[in-house]
Amino acid sequence: MNKRIIACFCLLSMLACELQSQQRMVVSEETRSESGEAGLSVVIDQSSPVIGCGEPVTLTATITGAVEISWKRNGEFITGATTNTFVANQSGIYSVVVVSLLCQVESDPVEVILQSPLNALIVSSQGTEACQGQSILLQATGGTAQWQWYRDGTALIDGVNATFTATEAGSYVVVGNESSPCASESQPVEVIIYALPQVSLVWEGDPLICEGDSLMVAASYYDNLTFDWYRDESLVILATSSFSATVAGEYHAIITDSITGCSNSTNSITLNVIPAQQVEISIDGNPWICAGASSLLVVTAGEGQVQWFADGASMEGMTDLFLNVYDSSGYSARITDSNGCTNESNSLSVDIFPLPNAEILLADGIQNLCGAEDTLLLHVDEGNAYVWFNGEVELEGQQNSSLEVMMAGDYTVQVTNSDGCTAVSDVLTIAMIDLPEVLLIPEDGATICSGQSIVLEVISAQAIAYDWYLNGAYLPGSTAFSLEVSTQGDYAVQVTDEFGCSALSATTTVQTIEVETPVITDGGITPEGQLLQTSEASGHQWYWNGEMIFGATGSSYVATQDGIYTCIALEDICESQVSAGFEVVLGEVNEGAFSFRVYPNPANDYTVLELGNLINVEYRLIDVAGRVVFISKANNTHTVLQLGEMSPGMYRLVLDNGEKRMLSVVR
């Protein structure tokens, strides 16, 4: 390096030169000269820059011809720095000024850089792990320095600052003041960059749905993944690997690996939703109709293929814009547009009111007028208003539920119910029919004996049914054209012809003669025999052991021999029933070894039964009604029978020792 030589003008006076030295006046550039020319020079021995690592730097200067020495820092004189050495403890630009008697020279400047000792260290507040696409900010610490970053031993061109943004995995080292004595290398830091999870969305078909439908979007899945679903960049739902999308928009999922914490976005799907069209139906007319009529439903809003429904069930073949309905139901329509989207209409209820029952009923079941004096009562069961017609003619004033008919004709009735529905009956034709003729034989009546019968017969050409009456009362089950009668009374028959007309015959009186059955009573013992009597005043006929006794026709008879006596009473041609038998025993029975008798007979309080040589014979007393009033055994040949508590009358005494014998006892 060339020295500056400052030319000095020699002063004639030493005083002037001394004054120049004291004031340290620096000669101008024009008066400087090379040191060799004037003999004054100064050089700082250290080359610039001089670096100090944690300690001051000692600067030395080689000086020639100088009387005074002064050090400067950053252009300012340093007080007390007047030797050829100087210990610099501050960084700065140093130089030396030397002065001879008449001249002054300044050295070239030397830069001193004092540095603290470096302890290079890499720190990262984010940690040393990141996901692909992210970065880690590495910070070099240890002091102010010139830095150089390395990855896997390779210097990084852009790694010359105190911080470095790592985007790739590797082993990072930072070196401070690499070319200076103060160089420091950090410990390596391993930076890990995790790969992002890769998942694709899949779906079936065109991502175009109808409003109200949904599209299932699924993501391929492997372990440790979580999903956040977004629509138009807004979080929709935290879900599993599938999502049911219903709203139009751009859908994607942010997937996160729960092990690495790295997230990635899937591909996206844009879902289009076809807005629902409004479908409306209305009723052209009233929402209620009478049975047999119809109401018209109309689709008033909506385009596409129409399908009608009744109470939620599809109506087969009903696909027009108009629908005639005949039944009570809730009706709606479904329209399918060209995109295949279906939309439901509102629901309308149509009420069908039933027609009234206008059937004309006959009060007595007969449809014809039987004779000019007959009337028929027609009626209907239900309704609120009635109009009756004979043929085409309205019957004035006949507005009730019933109608009395007195002439033949074709009758109908118009019935209106409370719902305002009207029905007209079928025609009921009423004909005028002559009454059938009837004759009951015998006309003049008949007389029969009690217990006998007579047959009454009907003569009527028109009759097909017969009903018999006795004393005006109907005889149930008597429906033949003839009737066998055995009871007296007034008989009549009502005949009915094929038209249902009936006529009642004249009355035929049947009389019966009833002869009381006689009761035979004991008239006592007479010299002629046992007197038998009856109370009947009519004629009689007596029987002995069932054989008629000729000439025995009075009200009494004297029995002269033992046996069973009966009689009948006679009146006109009629006779009574046969009386109860009266056994006559004239006091003793002698039949070989079997012989007995009773005495007294008739008796009062007692009678004696004498059995002869018979013992152990059972005996019974039986009254006229057949009731046993006494039963015992006779163990002696003479047995007393006590009769005091018995009613007076005829009794039969029956003895039985294997063979029965009987005689009468009278008390």
Residue 663's pLDDT band (boundaries 50, 70, 90)?
A: low
Give 314's contacts (C-beta < 8 A, 6+ positions apart): 307, 308
Measure the CA dihedral 157/160/162/165, to 10°. Answer: -20
CATH homologous superfamily for the domain 201-274: Immunoglobulins (2.60.40.10)
pLDDT at position 35 is 39
Selected from 2.60.40.10, 3.40.50.10470, 1.10.357.140, 3.40.50.2020, the CATH number assigned to the domain covering 280-353 reads 2.60.40.10
Phi and psi based region of residue 216 (left: phi greater than 0; alpha: psi -120 to 50; beta: remaining): beta
Q: What percent of the chain has pLDDT over 90?
A: 43
Q: β-strands 369-370, 432-433: how paired? A: parallel
Quick one: three-class SS letters along 573-615?
CEECCCCCCEEECCCEEEECCEEEEEECCCCCCEEEEECCCCC
Considering the four listed CATH numbers 1.10.486.10, 1.10.580.10, 2.60.40.10, 1.25.40.80, the one that applies to the domain covering 121-194 is 2.60.40.10
> How many Å is the maximal CA-CA distance in the chain?
242
pLDDT value at position 590? 53
| Residue 32 DSSP one-character state | B
Judging by DSSP bridges, how do beta strands 215-219 and 242-245 pair with one another? antiparallel
**513-525: pLDDT as tens digits:** 888 889 988 887 7
Confirm if 623 and 584 have CB atoms less than 8 A apart: no
User: What pLDDT is recorded for position 310?
Assistant: 94
Beta-strand runs (E) in 434-505: 439-441, 446-449, 454-459, 465-470, 473-474, 482-485, 489-496, 502-504
Q: Which of 119, 97, 114 is nearest to 106 (CA)?
A: 97
* Sheet containing 136-141, strands listed edge to edge, beginning at the edge strand earlier in sequence: 121-123, 136-141, 163-166
The CATH superfamily of 521-584 is Immunoglobulins (2.60.40.10)
pTM: 0.43
Confidence class of residue 608 from pLDDT cuts 50, 70 and 90?
confident
pLDDT of residue 20: 38
Phi, psi angles (nearest 5°) of residue 558: -100, 115
pLDDT, tens digit (0-9, with 9 covering 90-100), for 532-564: 898 776 788 999 888 889 888 888 998 877 789
**Count of CB atoms within 10 A of residue 234's CB?**
7
Domain spans in the chain, listed from the N-terminal domain onward: 14-115, 121-194, 201-274, 280-353, 361-433, 439-513, 521-584, 588-666
Architecture of domain 439-513: Sandwich (2.60)
Q: Does domain 361-433 have CATH number 3.40.50.300?
A: no
Q: Highest mean pLDDT: which of 27-36, 305-314, 582-591, 642-651?
A: 305-314
Q: Lowest mean pLDDT: which of 66-80, 186-200, 413-427, 651-665?
A: 651-665
- Continuous H helices in 107-146: none
Q: How confident is the model at residue 625 (pLDDT cuts 50, 70, 90)?
A: low
3-state secondary structure of 52: strand
pLDDT of 16 strictly over 50: no
DSSP-based three-state secondary structure for 22: helix
pLDDT digits (tens, 9 = 90+) for 86-142: 999 999 999 999 998 778 999 999 999 887 777 889 898 889 999 999 999 999 988
Instruction: Give CA–CA dist 140/155, Å, rounded.
Output: 15
Q: What's the pLDDT at 102? A: 77
Local confidence band at 26 (pLDDT 50, 70, 90 cut-offs): very low
280-353 and 521-584 share one fold = yes
- pLDDT for the residue 33: 32
Q: 159 pLDDT exceeds 90?
A: yes
Are 462 and 498 within 8 A, CB to CB?
yes
Asked which of 58-67, 308-317, 573-582 is least confident by mean pLDDT, the reply is: 573-582
**CATH 2.60.120.40 is held by the domain 14-115:** no
Which of 1.10.10.60, 2.60.40.3080, 1.20.1540.10, 2.70.70.10 is the CATH number of 588-666? 2.60.40.3080
DSSP letter for 20, please: H
Q: What is the pLDDT of residues 246-281, one digit of tens each?
A: 999 999 999 999 899 999 999 999 999 999 999 999
Q: Which residue has the tokens 């950090």?
A: 186
